């Protein structure tokens, strides 16, 4: 249970940034564990609620409301997952919080014209793109503030991927990665970390320059690891796998909000963003995707390898003032201790598979 922040902490609407989470899930056969192309029927069965379709018909997406406390967000995550699960069960399938399918699958593109055009344009990259992420939205006061945030959080995004890693299997095989979703997603030509923008004008010019190449179909396909939302007054951080445990999603969201608040504070204080090259950020993301929390990560303070637990400790230290102000510091520390102790979703999947019951058991465990 994620308890409310202690009394007296800054948790009111007018003092704490709101945070919301989008989660994508697989729709799977309850017996075989194989993904089923039934999203259209599940959406009809949902009868309202925050449930939407995605690129492939084997998946659906949930959306929480903007929340000001992690306890509220946790309850929203439980409720949106329950609603999606119930809708799936009405048509005889189950909801699985897995960022890739452990079992082989030939995905079925959704009927929306835009999605069909994406697959036609990008070939196998689009056709195989059955991956499930966790996107965190944090409120900002302006685009100027938002770009200042994007410039300053970029060193810390890879550790968020490591925490959420939940996709070790692909096409029936162990990939050797904790988050193979990160590798599959990286096939999109617009995906990945970004340079320091420095201004809203440069951010907009970068996006327009990408559109002018005729490569991406529209602005929604600008798949930066973190970007300004086109629909909400938020920054949208898109690095995480969908988490097997909703508490891990709360942890990612809590850390993300604290990173945003820390970035705004540093911007207002005149602190310049770390000029680390995007090429180094790509390597840090690859390292997080490869090993999750089971090995070394790239330390954003030194850009050298360091034990994952040490990198998470430095992440908390970096955002400690913001976590303390929101009342989130105790729960974030507890959740980090928990995930480091029990392992990521990827570690859990491999542990279940090691018992010898096959990949269908991995899916069944995620359902349960």
Q: Strands 173-174, 169-170: parallel, antiparallel or unpaired by DSSP?
A: antiparallel
On whether the CB atoms of residues 99 and 133 are closer than 8 A, the answer is yes
- On whether the 19-367 domain is CATH 3.40.50.1970, my answer is no
On whether the CB atoms of residues 99 and 167 are closer than 8 A, the answer is yes
What pLDDT is recorded for position 3? 59
Question: What is the tens place of the pLDDT at every residue in 274-301?
Answer: 999 999 999 999 999 999 999 999 999 9
Any idea of the CA torsion for 59, 365, 174, 252, to the nearest 10 degrees?
A: 70
Question: What is the tens place of the pLDDT at every residue in 50-60?
Answer: 799 999 999 99
Mean pLDDT of the chain, nearest integer? 95
Q: Is the model's pLDDT at 214 over the cut of 70?
A: yes
Q: Which of 1-10, 39-48, 355-364 has the lowest mean pLDDT?
A: 1-10
C-alpha angle 170/64/142, rounded to 5°?
105
On whether the CB atoms of residues 194 and 184 are closer than 8 A, the answer is no
Q: Which of 170, 225, 193, 223 is nearest to 346 (CA)?
A: 170
Average of per-residue pLDDT across 76-97: 97
Question: What is the tens place of the pLDDT at every residue in 107-160?
Answer: 999 999 999 999 999 999 999 999 999 999 999 999 999 999 999 999 999 999
Token pair for 67: 């929340």
Question: What is the tens place of the pLDDT at every residue in 181-203?
Answer: 999 999 999 999 999 999 999 99
Q: Is the model's pLDDT at 49 over the cut of 80?
A: no
Question: What is the tens place of the pLDDT at every residue in 118-132?
Answer: 999 999 999 999 999
What pLDDT is recorded for position 50? 74
Q: For the chain, give the longest Cα–Cα distance.
A: 57
């Amino acid at each position: 249970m994620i308890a409310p922040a202690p009394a007296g902490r800054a948790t009111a609407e007018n003092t704490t940034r709101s945070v919301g989470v989008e989660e994508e899930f697989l729709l799977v056969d309850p017996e075989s564990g194989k993904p089923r192309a039934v999203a259209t029927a599940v959406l009809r069965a949902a009868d309202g609620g925050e449930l939407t379709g995605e690129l492939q018909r084997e998946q659906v997406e949930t959306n929480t409301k903007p929340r000001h406390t992690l306890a509220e967000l946790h309850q929203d995550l439980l409720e949106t997952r329950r609603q999606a699960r119930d809708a799936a069960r009405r048509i005889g399938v189950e909801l699985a919080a897995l960022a890739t399918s452990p079992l082989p699958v030939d995905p079925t593109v959704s009927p929306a014209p835009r999605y069909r055009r994406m697959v036609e344009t990008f070939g196998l990259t689009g056709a195989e793109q059955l991956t499930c992420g966790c996107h965190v939205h944090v409120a900002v006061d302006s685009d100027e503030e938002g770009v200042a945030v994007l410039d300053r959080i970029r060193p810390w995004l890879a550790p968020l991927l490591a925490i959420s890693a939940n996709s070790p299997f692909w096409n029936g095989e162990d990939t050797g990665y904790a988050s193979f979703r990160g590798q599959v997603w990286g096939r999109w030509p617009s995906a990945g970390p970004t340079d320091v923008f420095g201004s809203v004008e440069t951010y907009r010019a970068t996006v327009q320059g990408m559109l002018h190449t005729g490569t991406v179909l529209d602005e929604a396909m600008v798949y930066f690891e973190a970007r300004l939302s086109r629909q909400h007054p938020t920054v949208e951080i898109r690095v995480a796998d969908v988490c097997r445990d909703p508490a891990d999603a709360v942890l990612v969201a809590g850390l993300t909000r604290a990173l945003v608040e820390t970035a705004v504070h540093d911007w207002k204080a005149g602190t310049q963003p770390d000029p680390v090259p995007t090429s180094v950020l790509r390597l840090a993301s690859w390292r997080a995707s490869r090993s999750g929390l089971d090995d070394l990560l790239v330390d954003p303070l030194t850009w050298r390898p360091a034990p994952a637990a040490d990198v998470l400790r430095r992440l908390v230290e970096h955002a400690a003032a913001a976590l303390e102000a929101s009342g989130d510091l105790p729960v974030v520390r507890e959740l980090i201790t928990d995930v480091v102790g029990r392992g990521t979703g990827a570690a859990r999947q491999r542990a279940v598979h090691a018992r010898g019951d096959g990949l269908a058991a991995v899916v069944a465990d995620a359902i349960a």
